[in-house]
Structure 1
Amino acid sequence: MGLCKFLLTLILISASFFYYLTQYTNLIKKYKCKYAVITGSTGGIGKELTSQLIKKMNVITVARNPAELEKIQEQYKDEQFKIVPFVFDFVDDLNTFSDKFDQFLTEKGIDKQEVGMCFSNAGYGDYKPFESYNYIEKAKFVQVNFDAHLAICDYFCKLFLTRKNTKSALVITSSALSHTPGKYFALYHTTKAALSSLGNALYAEYRRKGIDVLVVHPSSVSNTKFYQHKGIKAEGDKTMPVIGQIENSFIAVTPKQVVNRMLTRVGKINQSQVGWAAVSTALFATCSGRNIQGWIWSLFSLNDKLVK
């Protein structure tokens, strides 16, 4: 009987916690802000974030393409809240981001204290042997996929600390591939692993200082720009077989699923796996360790002949 009571109690506690996690956070009440910032706002996850947040607050959309930003702004021109586009290419000098964003806020008449949420989503993928591209290309990849997030975290952690007696949120999009090396995804795995570690460390450092940090790890995400990048293309500009098919396969998740996970988990936990494939990858990584993972991935690739 004692064991049965223990198991029943454990089940009830687990069910209650799961229910708590799945409930949407009242963002306005919790973070008391008028503006949210979204980087990578013209991609699938960024667009879905914009569509959900614009119903609650003003959204500062950040991307490199002015035309696409204007299109998003036009799409929501009749909403109660407004879209404010900020053009910035994370391939450029990241040292300029802080000054340019400050100038942008001043020009738009936006009080820094009214900015209480930031969603860091910028990035792209590459699927090829490590030796097949030069150092400059590698450095560019690392800059966009990790350094850009570092610059965002640097700016917004400092800004959020000035919002006295008010909580703020920093949400970072990583990947299920942060947990496992993945052959021909060397740099992608490396940057995502570093990004997840950064988010975990920032959560530990700033949780009690009023900044909620959340890192989400989606598996393959459908209907995004990830699979349109030339780094995921085979010869003839065709999507890489198998890799390309994953986009709309049974292991993929939608941008809406990723955003729903962000908006329900923020302020409750610091890392979340999105999709059963991401959960499985995280469990396997935890149980197997790096030695076994590396050995297994060294045995095969999804497209060995195409990338060599």
Structure 2
Amino acid sequence: MGLCKLLLTLILISASFFYYLTQYTNLIKKYKCKYAVITGSTGGIGKELTSQLIKKMNVITVARNPAELEKIQEQYKDEQFKIVPFVFDFVDDLNTFSDKFDQFLTEKGIDKQEVGMCFSNAGYGDYKPFESYNYIEKAKFVQVNFDAHLAICDYFCKLFLTRKNTKSALVITSSALSHTPGKYFALYHTTKAALSSLGNALYAEYRRKGIDVLVVHPSSVSNTKFYQHKGIKAEGDKTMPVIGQIENSFIAVTPKQVVNRMLTRVGKINQSQVGWAAVSTALFATCSGRNIQGWIWSLFSLNDKLVK
């Protein structure tokens, strides 16, 4: 009888916690801000974030392509809140981001204290042998997929600490591949693993200082620019199977699912897996350890044709 009561109690606690996690956070009430910043705002997840946040607050969209930013701004011109585009290419000197963004805020008449949320979402993928591209190409990849997030975290953690007695949120998009190496995804895995570790460390450091840090780990995300990048495509502009098939397969998640997870989990937990494949990958990584993971992934590739 005692065991049954214990099991029932655990089930009720688990169900209550799950219900709590799935409820949307009142962002305006919690973070008391008028502006949210989204990097990688012209991609699938970035666009979905914009479409949901613009109903609640003003959105500063960050991307490298002015034409695409203007298109998004035009799309939401009739909304109650406004889109404010900021052009920045994370391939450029990241040391200039802070000064350029400060200047941008001044020119637009935006008070820093009114910026209370940042979604660090920029990046792209590559699928090829480590030795097949030179150091400069590798350094560029690391800059966009990790260093850019580091620059964003550096700027916004400092900014958010100045918002006295007010909470702020920093949400980082990582990947299920942060948990496991993946053959021919060496640099992608490396940058995502570093990014997840950074987010976890920042959560531990700033949770009691008013900054909610959340890292999401989606599995393959459909309808994004990830699969359009030349590093994921073969000659003739055709995405090669099996890589191309993953985008719309049963293991994929949609940008809406990823964003919904962000907006329900922020301020509640520090890491979240999106999609059953991401959950499975995380569990496997936890249970197997690095030695077994590396050995298993060395046995096969998602698509040898793409790299030969």
Deviations 1:17-73 (A, max 9, x none): 000000000000000000000000000000000000000000000000000000000
**1:302, distance to aligned residue in structure 2 (A):** 1.8
Deviations 1:105-143 (A, max 9, x none): 000000000000000000000000000000000000000
Separation in 2 of the partners of 1:101 and 1:69?
Answer: 16
Rounded Cα–Cα distance in structure 1 between residues aligned with 2:133 and 2:7: 54
- Mean CA deviation greater in 213-222 or 235-244: 235-244
1:241 deviates by: 1.2
CA distance in 1, matches of 2:244, 2:208: 42
Query: Deviations for 1:222-258, whole angstroms, at most 9, x for unmatched residues?
Result: 0000000000001222102110100000000000000
Q: How does 1:22-61 map to 2 (within 5 A)?
A: 22-61=22-61
**Aligned partners of 1:96, 1:240: CA distance in 2, in Å?**
38
SS of 1:126's partner is coil
Distance 1:160 1:286 in 2: 33
Stretches of structure 1 that go unaligned for 5 or more consecutive residues are none
Cα distance between partner residues in 2 of 1:215 and 1:240:
29
Offset from partner CA, 1:75-100 (integer Å, 9 cap, x none): 00000000000000000000000000
Can you give the 5+ residue segments of structure 2 that lack an aligned partner in the other structure? none
Query: What SS is found at the alignment partner of 1:70?
Result: helix
Identity over aligned pairs, percent: 100
* TM-superposed deviation, 1:306: 3.0
For the residue of structure 1 that corresponds to 2:295, the secondary structure is helix
CA distance in 2, matches of 1:110, 1:302: 47
Q: Which shifted more, 234-243 or 20-29? A: 234-243
* Cα drift, residue 266 of structure 1: 0.1
Structure 2: distance between partners of 1:25 and 1:287: 32
CA distance in 2, matches of 1:134, 1:275: 34
Contact 2:43 2:224 in 1 (8 A): yes
The answer on whether the counterparts of 2:37 and 2:115 sit within 8 Å (CA) in structure 1 is yes
Q: Matched residue of 1:189: which SS?
A: helix
The answer to whether the 8 Å contact 2:128/2:306 transfers is no
State the alpha-carbon separation in 1 of the partners of residues 220 and 226 from structure 2: 9
**CA deviation profile, 1:237-296 (whole Å, cap 9, x unmatched):** 210211010000000000000000000000000000000000000000000000000000
Moved over 6 A (4+): none
Distance 2:306 2:39 in 1: 33
What is the alpha-carbon distance in structure 1 between the residues aligned to residue 45 and residue 36 of structure 2? 15
Deviation at 1:305, TM superposition (A): 3.3
Q: What is the CA distance between 1:2 and its match in structure 2?
A: 0.4
Q: Deviations over 1:160-183 (max 9, x none)?
A: 000000000000000000000000
Q: Secondary structure at the match of 2:60?
A: strand
Shifted more, 14-23 versus 240-249: the winner is 240-249
d(CA) in 2 for partners of 1:130 and 1:244?
A: 20
CA distance in 2, matches of 1:198, 1:138: 20
SS at match of 2:139: helix
> Residue in 2 aligned with 1:235?
235
Query: What secondary structure is seen at the aligned counterpart in 1 of 2:216?
Result: strand
Q: Secondary structure at the match of 1:261?
A: helix
For the residues of structure 2 that align with 1:132 and 1:14, how far apart are their CA atoms? 48
SS of the residue corresponding to residue 236 of structure 1 reads: coil
CA displacement, residues 198-222 of structure 1 (integer Å, 9 cap, x when unaligned): 0000000000000000000000000
Equivalence for 2:209: 209
Give the TM-score, by structure 2 length.
Answer: 1.00
Aligned residues: CA RMSD: 0.5
Partner of 1:175: 175
